[in-house]
A = this chain, B = another copy of it.
Amino acid sequence: MTWAPPGKVYVIVDTDSLHGRTARDVLRAVLRGGASLVQYRAKDLSTREMVEEARALVLEARRSSVPLLINDRIDVALAVGADGAHVGQDDMPVDLARRMLGPRAILGVSAPARDLAMRAARDGASYVACGPMFSSPTKPGISPIGPEAIQSIKRAANLPVCAIGGITLANAQRVAEAGADLLAVVSAVMAAPDPEAATRELRTLVEEL
């Protein structure tokens, strides 16, 4: 049973990139702007703080019928009834995450190479994320794999592919044209003066294709 993304615009609300705003305000803005999928990433908060904030965000997202995933923390995802989680290669192993979350949750997996993507698919991923597409301010020092990599990872995993890393309003169309099913952005929206407008613009660029 393959998961079909509800649209391409995937905004990661990262507590490290709030620029003085609250996670809740940013989430509301990106929901108004038309994000199709959202993720809550909070690497430096206590579990208690994460649970309290994530609980409020889940309610906001649900009001807009947009699925919300929790980065890394399966316990937090379960505690707040999120729609799923996203795990990287340093996070919970995919098979264990899938077992804990159950068969219906959305489980994203960072898998920037063909072998990792195949393994993630076998272990229960709903989509695989590959990147960085371009050199990215949030992941300095990692060589970009480019939009050219999307098709080969898609064939390997036979799952929706999420492009991530350095995606901006200037290059989003190129990434969508290369076959990305989801375009995940942090800075392009979080660092924008108006996250709602940035989300809306991104949506216009990629959903028309």
Copies of this chain, whole number: 2
Q: Determine whether the beta carbon of A51 is less than 8 Å from that of B96.
A: yes
Q: Say yes or no: is A138 at the interface (Cβ < 8 Å to chain B).
A: no
Q: For residue A47, which residues in chain B have a CB less than 8 angstroms away from its CB?
A: 72-73, 87, 90-92
A 51-73 contacts with B by CB, 8 A:
51, 72-73
- How far, in Å, is A176 (CB) from chain B's closest CB? 31
Q: Say yes or no: is A123 at the interface (Cβ < 8 Å to chain B).
A: no
Q: Determine whether the beta carbon of B79 is less than 8 Å from that of A96.
A: yes
With contacts A75-B74, A78-B100, A79-B100 taken as known, whether A89 is within 8 angstroms of B51 at the C-beta atoms is no
What are 16 pairs between A and B in contact, CB < 8 Å? A46-B91, A47-B72, A47-B87, A47-B90, A47-B92, A48-B92, A49-B90, A51-B92, A51-B96, A74-B78, A75-B75, A75-B78, A75-B92, A78-B100, A79-B93, A79-B100
